[in-house]
Amino acid sequence: MREVNVKDLIPIVKKLCIDANYYMGEDVIQRIKELKEKEESSTARSVLDILLENYELAAEEQMPICQDTGVAVCFVEIGQDVHMIGGDFTEAMNEGVRQGYKDGYLRKSMVADPIIDRINTKDNTPAMIYTDIVPGDKIKITVAPKGGGSENMSEVKMMKAADGIEGVIDFVVDRVRRSGGNPCPPIVVGVGLGGNFEQSALLAKKSLLRSLTEKNPDPKWAKIEDEILEKVNNLGIGPQGLGGRTTALGVCILSKPCHIASMPVAVNVQCHAARHKSAVI
Amino acid sequence: MEIHLTTPLKTEDLEKLKIGDQVYITGTVYTGRDAAHKRLVELLERGEKLPFDAEGQIIYYVGPAPAPPGKPIGSAGPTTSYRMDPYAPALMDAGMKAMIGKGPRSQPVIDSMIKNKAVYLAAVGGAAVVVAKSIKESKVIAYEDLGPEAIREMKVENFPCVVANDVNGNDIYKAGVKKYQK
């Protein structure tokens, strides 16, 4: 048994919020550079150049890559031998988010009530916190700020087994086609297959945490990811939807077992600012 | 083509713009997104005055990040425009001549642009530090309670954008995709 004071999580979460928003991951930068070489449209190439310039400027100027600094999505893997002391875990996570968004000059984008009065909570809380209990005595925290523009283009569909893998691929590609220029392409397409209604959506979100320079460890899914990526990049949407070959930087699939009657498919669309940072305590 | 525009915008300058033209704006832009648009259109429906004179002006769909010390504004890229589609025609009828945002517009908005000889300009979404560099001053002029969604008056110099819809109803989102789809 290892004791961890929840107060020690606060500065870690704060730093992860700021770092994720200021410093773009090398995987995104590398993929944009690779795809720019193959881009046929000169407008598209100049948009990709602006994105690369923006990532550099954000890091240099210590400013967020995008003004939409997102919902603070937090994935926390808690070792089963950890005993948390010193207060409320959820409140400590929210305090880290509160301090990060205030001291990092990040935008506060949460409203307390979704439809009646939509009053801003003014500190970007509450965070969206997902916990997993895992073996060991460590805590791993990942903060993945998620913007609204791409989140709005996401969808869960309860498909049927008879639709087959072709049906799944068609649904994913069509979701990207219908998103057009709205989610700030080049996007990352997160796909959750199986599980049930809510688990498919969470799988789709978690799939976005994989580095874009890593292939899916399962060759079966890696092949399907390549197939979807090719189809998506043949849609012609291009960077910002202005036309071109670079619609997506990658496709990430996560799958889980499901009920004999079901075939849930979730597509979580991620803008080019595919931000996530992790720390282990 | 590269074109420099200053505000307030003149109809004859807008009539020359074609989709795909690179435009640099210098002058004043007003910011507004979902919550501010709702309030502006409610004012117009009640026959009341807007908090700024819309004639010949530009509205920029943005909710900027807070200004760090020593800077006029934080990161300030465009937000997705379709959410403002239900409100945009009323603002064009009130004199607004251009909108800056990202992503395609609905047919009623495009029709209103043709009718009002207005244009829609696309800024690069997620290039929020690059855009912020062209913003020299920013002050809240209405709806401070909305936080990032408050209406700001911004002084801009060479604000970069691309003509996405011109006064003749052409649409870069349709034309661009058509050209590159396989």
pLDDT tens column, A250-265: 999 999 999 999 999 9
Mean pLDDT of A161-178: 98
Domains of chain B by residue range: 2-180
- The helix (run of H) or strand (run of E) holding residue B88 is helix B88-93
Residue A118 and residue B132: Cβ atoms within 8 Å?
Answer: no
Give the mean pLDDT of chain A.
98
- The DSSP symbol for B45 reads H
What is the pLDDT at residue A108?
A: 98
What share of chain A has pLDDT > 70, as a percent?
Answer: 100
Q: Record the tokens describing residue B37, joined without a space.
A: 């648009």
The verdict on a CB contact (< 8 Å) between A118 and B67 is no
Cβ B87 vs Cβ B38: under 8 Å? yes
Taking the Cβ of residue B181 and every Cβ of chain A, the question of whether any pair is shorter than 8 Å is answered with: yes
Distance (Å, rounded) from C-alpha B144 to C-alpha B93?
Answer: 25
Mutate to test the interface with B, among A68, A71, A187 (most CBs of B within 10 A): A68
Q: Which run of H or E residues covers position B163?
A: strand B151-165
- C-alpha A108/C-alpha A121 separation (Å) is 8
- Mapping DSSP to helix (H, G, I), strand (E, B) and coil, where does residue B93 land? helix
Return the H-helix or E-strand segment holding B112: helix B107-116
| Residue A195: predicted pLDDT | 98
What are B161's two structure tokens? 């954008």
Amino acid B69: pLDDT = 96
Is the Cβ–Cβ distance between A233 and A248 less than 8 Å? yes
Instruction: Indicate the helix (H) or strand (E) that contains B12.
Output: helix B11-15
Touching A: B residues 36-55, CB under 8 Å: none
| Burial per residue of A37-50, b for 16 or more beta-carbon CB atoms within 10 angstroms, e otherwise | eebebebbbbbbeb
Provide the number of CB pairs (under 8 Å) joining chain A to chain B: 162
CB A70 within 8 A of CB B148: no
User: Is the pLDDT reported for residue A23 higher than 80?
Assistant: yes
Give the per-residue pLDDT at A84: 98
The string of pLDDT tens digits covering residues A98-136 is: 999 999 999 999 999 999 999 999 999 999 999 999 999
| Chain-chain contact of B102 with A41 (C-beta, under 8 angstroms) | no
Cα–Cα distance, A109 to A128 (Å, whole number) = 13
B37 is catalytic: yes
- All residues of chain B having their beta carbon less than 8 Å from the beta carbon of residue A23 are none
Strands B2-6 and B135-142 come out as unpaired
Q: Which residues of A touch B146 (CB under 8 A)?
A: 120
DSSP state of B57: -
Q: 3-state secondary structure string, chain A?
A: CEEEEHHHHHHHHHHHHHHHHHCCCHHHHHHHHHHHHHCCCHHHHHHHHHHHHHHHHHHHHCCCCCCCCCEEEEEEEEECCEEEECCCHHHHHHHHHHHHHHHCCCCCCCECCCCCCCCECCCCCCCEEEEEEECCCCEEEEEEEECHHHHCCCEEEEECHHHHHHHHHHHHHHHHHHHCCCCCCCEEEEEEEECCHHHHHHHHHHHCCCCCCCCCCCHHHHHHHHHHHHHHHCCCCCHHHCCCCCCEEEEEEEEECCCCCCEEEEEEEECCCCCCEEEEC
Interval A16-44 mean pLDDT: 97
**What 3-state DSSP class applies to B161?**
strand
The reported pLDDT for the residue numbered B31 is: 98
Query: Would you call the peptide bond into A135 cis, given omega within 30 degrees of 0 as the criterion?
Result: no
Question: CA of B171 to nearest chain A CA: how many angstroms apart?
Answer: 10
Give residue B1's pLDDT.
77
What pLDDT score does A277 carry? Answer: 98
Contacts of A41 in chain B (CB under 8 A): 176, 179-180
Residue with tokens 């913003």: B135
**Min Cα–Cα distance to chain B from A137, Å:** 38
**Residue A64 and residue B124: Cβ atoms within 8 Å?**
no
pLDDT of amino acid A214: 97
Please determine, for the modelled complex, whether the ipTM score is greater than 0.90: yes
pTM of the model: 0.97
CA dihedral of residues B43, A147, A186, B19 (deg, nearest 10): 10
- The string of pLDDT tens digits covering residues B30-61 is 999 999 999 999 999 999 999 999 999 999 99
Q: Which residues of chain B have a pLDDT value below 70?
A: none
* Residue range A22-42: mean pLDDT, rounded: 97
Question: pLDDT at position B41, please?
Answer: 97
Shortest distance between the Cα of A261 and any Cα of chain B, in A, equals 36
pLDDT at A53: 98
Dist CA B97 CA B111 (whole Å): 14
Rounded to 5 degrees, what angle do the CA atoms A164, A168, A170 make?
115
Catalytic residue among B33, B37, B97, B105: B37
d(CA B38, nearest CA chain A) in Å: 12
CB neighbours of residue A257 within 10 Å: 8
Class level of CATH domain B2-180 = alpha beta
